[in-house]
């Protein structure tokens, strides 16, 4: 009996360290993931980026267990706003973590929007650099972005627009175990040195929609979704060089996969 008690005590003393070591070993130092999707339209902050045509999008993300991350995301674009560019490449990095053991989190980082290719001679560059800070809880988040360059080349009054900011309030509410997620978004952009009347560049945008993620089978993890997007812009400043209003309300359908 004495030997049994000693063995049990030794096992109990060793079980916790070994369990901790096993858990630590199971947690990778970093993860690398990719994503790809097909969208009926590419809408960015309420405006079409593809002249209301389909967009093929994809990217790759690196996330360290400490909270640091880096990523790249890409999409075709088709608008005179981008001065001849047919591709958007976003490069971003930051730090994201929870507040203690709670479901509340914060996210700090920077993103650069790059439009490669030959630009129209003598015309502005749409390349844009932003800093951002966000907080959230489970499926809801609030994010503030601050622009360090001209806001996608915009100069409503001929003056620089660095200092423009954007507030993004978003929610992606999962409906139980159905695989369905309800999507909602509201955004406010305040353009520095804004115009007025038809030259007014500041506006608000919103969208509502839903998505479904396939739970099993060959298409497991495939996300199918749809949403409706609109803004309160009158389209004046955001009418492109061909005379088309890029701010018209529209519905978007998509399929995408993260792997």
User: Would the pLDDT of 123 be above 80?
Assistant: no
User: Per-residue pLDDT tens for 85-121?
Assistant: 899 999 999 999 999 999 999 999 999 999 997 766 6
pLDDT band at 24 (very low <50, low <70, confident <90, very high): low
Domains parsed from the chain with CATH numbers: 30-258 (2.40.160.40)
Q: What is the pLDDT of residue 5?
A: 41
**For the chain, percent of residues with pLDDT exceeding 70:** 87
Q: What is the pLDDT of residue 195?
A: 79
pLDDT band at 9 (very low <50, low <70, confident <90, very high): very low
128 by Cβ neighbours in 10 Å (0-12 / 13-18 / 19+) ranks as buried
Query: Which one is predicted more confidently, 237 or 16?
Result: 237
Q: Average model confidence (pLDDT) for the chain?
A: 89
User: Would the pLDDT of 122 be above 70?
Assistant: no
Most confident of 14-23, 113-122, 136-145: 136-145
User: Would the pLDDT of 26 be above 80?
Assistant: no
Query: Which one is predicted more confidently, 72 or 12?
Result: 72
The whole-model pTM stands at 0.88
Q: What is the pLDDT of residue 79?
A: 74
Q: What is the pLDDT of residue 3?
A: 45
Over range 35-58, report the average pLDDT.
96
């Amino acid at each position: 009996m004495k030997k049994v008690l000693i063995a049990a005590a030794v096992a109990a003393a060793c079980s916790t360290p070994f369990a901790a070591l096993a858990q630590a070993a199971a947690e990778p130092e970093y993860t690398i993931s990719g994503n790809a999707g097909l969208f009926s339209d590419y809408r960015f902050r309420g405006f079409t980026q593809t002249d209301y045509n389909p967009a093929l999008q994809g990217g790759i993300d690196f996330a360290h267990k400490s909270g640091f991350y880096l990523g790249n995301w890409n999409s075709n674009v088709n608008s005179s706003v981008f001065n001849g560019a047919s591709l958007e490449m976003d490069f971003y990095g930051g730090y994201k973590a929870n507040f203690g053991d709670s479901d509340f989190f914060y996210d700090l980082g920077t993103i650069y929007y790059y439009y490669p290719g030959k630009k129209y001679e003598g015309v502005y560059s749409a390349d844009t650099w932003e800093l951002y800070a966000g907080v959230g809880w489970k499926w809801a988040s609030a994010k503030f972005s601050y622009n360090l360059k001209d806001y996608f080349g915009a100069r409503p009054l001929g003056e620089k627009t660095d200092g423009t900011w954007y507030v993004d309030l978003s929610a992606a509410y999962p409906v139980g175990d159905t695989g369905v997620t309800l999507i909602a978004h509201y955004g406010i952009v305040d353009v520095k040195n804004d115009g007025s009347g038809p030259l007014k560049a500041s506006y608000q945008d919103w969208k509502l929609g839903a998505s479904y993620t396939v739970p099993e089978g060959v298409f497991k993890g495939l996300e199918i979704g749809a949403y409706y997007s609109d803004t309160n812009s009158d389209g004046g400043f955001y009418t492109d060089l061909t005379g088309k209003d890029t701010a018209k309300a529209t519905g978007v359908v998509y399929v995408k996969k993260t792997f």
